[in-house]
Structures are given as structure tokens and as C-alpha cells.
């Protein structure tokens, strides 16, 4: 086990995968000579050379399309999208083509492609470079989607994604790249896709979080003391229903903490599925703690309020546990939005 930053864990995962399998390639803007816009490919060009670590033109449509073709003929490309929003111009290649090849070919053609994209608010990149946009991908059959929350899951999920025979999107919370944590590398460090982690045990409420909201959920739970169980969902497609349902069966309550805006967030799927499968186990209505339905603000103070803060999560959980009722979010309590 070593202590490393999240960005270093990503670079370590790429290096280990490339040493293991000569068909693993890395494409993207500034991933080679500059070693990644966020230094997530540090040292790779020097070790593996320009044939396997390739800088591309500023054309996501072009290099994602090239990676889909390479994957379809037996390579295992990893492409880096600098900001999640830029994937919008290449959705056809990923969602309509790569995710459908296995189905359209009756299983004869697979596309072992990994698309990495940085996501999220917190670093002052403004409204057009701070979204999470998981919902662009989660309703796409044939595509897996995972979101790391620390160095270990950054390393382990990426190693698992590169080994997967089908396309996988890894959405990396940008605000976590500089965070340090313990990380087991090699075979023992691989985190299977579709497996959630119970990161804090409790028996009064199940809190499901993802990406950088895991930190907020754990911090709020520690302030509240015992009783709050926190689950890091890790993979959105397929998500780990068994772990979530087993937890709700013990606690009788469910809260989902999301960075995405309230409308259309991934937590709606979790709440819906748990309500349908475990309605009789619920002692109070399940609900979601989200961002408001507004663009991510550029102003530092407003941006800090956008994603669920530790204070807001603590307030919502305490009110919910004390009353059994679903509290209003801060923007309704303060009368700034409906």
C-alpha cells in the first residue's frame, strides 16, 4: 500500500494496465508531452512511447471515433476527455456506436473502450466546465458508468474498466485529483465494477453517495455520531442494488446525496428502485439531497453552496432523523428558489 494523490493513482492504473497488456493505448488532448491537463498521465510517454501515448487534435469526435474503431479490431484504448462537457460532441461515437456494437453484431464484436472525463464543481471553472452530467450516459444500454471517490477507487475502477470487454465511462471528480489517500495497487487493488462500498456503518439511516459527495456524507455522519451508514455507490451502471437494499433493510431509511441538479439526477433511480423493492421496510420517506436546478455558479461563494455541503447534509439528516419528515433544501428555506 502506498499513499498517493488521486491523479497519481490514475496514472499508476494506466501504467500497470499498459505493462500488463500491450494493446492498451492512451489518446487525448495533452496526455503525452504535457502528461495530462491534470497530470493524470505523468510519466507514461517516457515509459511507453508515442505509439501508445498519443496527443490528439482538439477534436473529441475524431479521437473518440478512432478509439471506437481501434477497440472494435482488438485494441484496448483509453481516451481522456478534458472536461465532461466536451464529450457532448462525441456522444454519437460512444452512445450510438460503441455501446451498441455487441448488440448489433449478436455478440461477435465487442468494444473494450474506456472513456475518462473530469467532472464536477469546486475549482472555479465556471458553468460550462463544472457539470457532472452523469445522466447523459446512465440511460444508455451497453455502457457502464463508474465514478471514483478517492485514490483507491480511482486506481481500482480504472483497472477494472480497462479489462472490461465492453465500453466503460469513468467520470473523475476534478476536485479530488489532488487529494491524498492510501492505495493498494496490482491485482489486490482492482475494484470490481458494479460493487458499492460501505464506508461507514450505522443502523438508523442509509446514505448513498458518489464521487466527491462521499466526503460530505462521511463528514456529516461523523458530526452526527452513530447511526448513519454511508455507502459509496462507486458504479452507476450497473449499480449495486444488493448492498443498498441490505442496508435499507437494516436502517429503514434512505437518503441519496448527489452533486447533480435536483431534476433528472441518478439518485432518482436509486430511490425509485428501493421504494419498489423494499417499501415495507421503510420507516420514513426516502429522499435526495442535491444541488439546485441552476447552472454551476462561477462566483466562489455561490459555487461553494451549489454542491451539497457538510453543513447542509448534516442539517438534512438531523431533521430527517428527528422528525421522520423530508426537510426542504436550503434554497427553499431561504426563499431563493422553488
pLDDT digits 0-9 by tens, 239-263: 999 999 999 999 999 999 999 999 9
Quick one: fold of 197-334?
Rossmann fold (3.40.50)
- State which H helix or E strand residue 42 sits in: none
User: Residue 296 gets which letter from DSSP?
Assistant: P
Using one digit for the tens of pLDDT, what is the confidence trace for 177-228?
Answer: 999 999 999 999 999 999 999 999 999 999 999 999 999 999 999 999 889 9
DSSP reduced 3-state for 55: strand
Pinpoint the residues of the chain covered by CATH 3.40.50.970: 2-189
Pinpoint the residues of the chain covered by CATH 3.40.50.920: 197-334
Strand pairing report for 228-232 and 2-5? unpaired
DSSP reduced 3-state for 312: helix
Average pLDDT of 273-291?
Answer: 97
Rounded CA-CA distance 309/37 in Å is 27
Among 147, 160, 158, 161, residue whose Cα is nearest residue 196: 147
Rounded CA-CA distance 308/169 in Å is 24
The set of residues, in sequence order, having a beta carbon less than 8 Å from that of 267 and lying 6+ positions away, is: 208, 256, 257, 258, 288, 290
Strand pairing report for 76-81 and 24-28? parallel
Correct CATH for 2-189 of 3.40.50.970, 3.40.50.720, 2.30.42.10, 1.10.1660.10: 3.40.50.970
Question: Does the pLDDT of residue 43 top 90, yes or no?
Answer: yes
Contact (CB, 8 A) for 58 and 86? no
- Active site residue ranges: 60, 129
- Model confidence pTM above 0.85: yes
Amino acid at each position: 500500500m502506498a499513499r498517493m494523490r488521486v491523479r497519481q493513482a490514475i496514472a499508476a492504473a494506466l501504467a500497470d494496465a499498459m505493462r500488463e497488456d500491450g494493446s492498451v493505448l492512451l489518446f487525448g488532448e495533452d496526455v503525452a508531452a504535457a502528461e495530462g491537463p491534470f497530470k493524470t498521465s505523468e510519466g507514461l510517454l517516457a515509459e511507453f512511447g508515442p505509439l501508445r501515448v498519443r496527443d490528439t487534435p482538439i477534436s473529441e469526435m475524431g479521437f473518440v471515433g478512432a478509439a471506437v474503431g481501434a477497440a472494435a479490431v482488438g485494441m484496448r484504448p483509453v481516451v481522456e476527455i478534458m472536461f465532461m462537457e466536451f464529450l457532448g460532441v462525441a456522444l454519437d461515437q460512444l452512445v450510438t456506436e460503441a455501446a451498441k456494437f455487441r448488440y448489433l453484431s449478436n455478440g461477435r464484436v465487442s468494444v473494450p473502450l474506456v472513456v475518462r472525463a473530469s467532472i464536477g464543481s469546486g475549482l472555479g471553472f465556471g458553468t460550462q466546465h463544472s457539470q457532472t452530467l452523469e445522466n447523459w450516459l446512465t440511460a444508455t444500454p451497453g455502457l457502464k458508468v463508474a465514478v471514483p471517490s478517492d485514490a483507491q477507487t480511482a486506481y481500482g475502477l480504472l483497472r477494472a474498466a480497462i479489462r472490461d470487454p465492453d465500453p466503460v465511462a469513468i467520470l473523475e471528480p476534478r476536485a479530488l485529483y489532488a487529494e491524498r489517500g492510501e492505495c493498494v495497487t496490482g491485482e489486490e487493488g482492482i475494484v470490481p465494477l458494479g460493487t458499492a462500498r460501505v464506508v461507514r456503518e450505522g443502523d438508523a439511516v442509509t446514505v448513498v453517495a458518489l464521487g466527491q459527495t462521499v466526503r460530505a456524507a462521511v463528514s456529516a455522519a461523523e458530526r452526527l455520531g452513530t447511526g448513519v451508514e454511508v455507502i459509496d455507490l462507486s458504479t452507476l451502471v450497473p449499480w449495486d442494488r444488493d448492498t443498498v437494499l441490505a442496508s435499507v433493510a437494516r436502517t429503514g431509511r434512505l437518503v441519496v446525496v448527489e452533486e447533480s441538479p435536483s431534476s433528472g439526477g441518478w439518485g432518482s433511480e436509486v430511490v425509485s428502485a428501493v421504494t419498489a423493492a423494499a417499501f415495507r421496510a421503510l420507516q420514513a420517506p426516502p429522499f435526495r439531497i442535491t444541488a439546485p436546478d441552476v447552472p454551476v455558479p462561477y462566483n466562489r461563494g455561490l459555487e461553494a453552496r451549489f454542491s451539497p455541503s457538510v453543513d447542509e447534509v448534516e442539517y438534512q439528516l438531523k431533521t430527517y432523523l428527528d422528525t421522520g419528515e423530508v426537510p426542504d433544501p436550503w434554497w427553499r428555506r431561504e426563499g431563493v428558489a422553488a
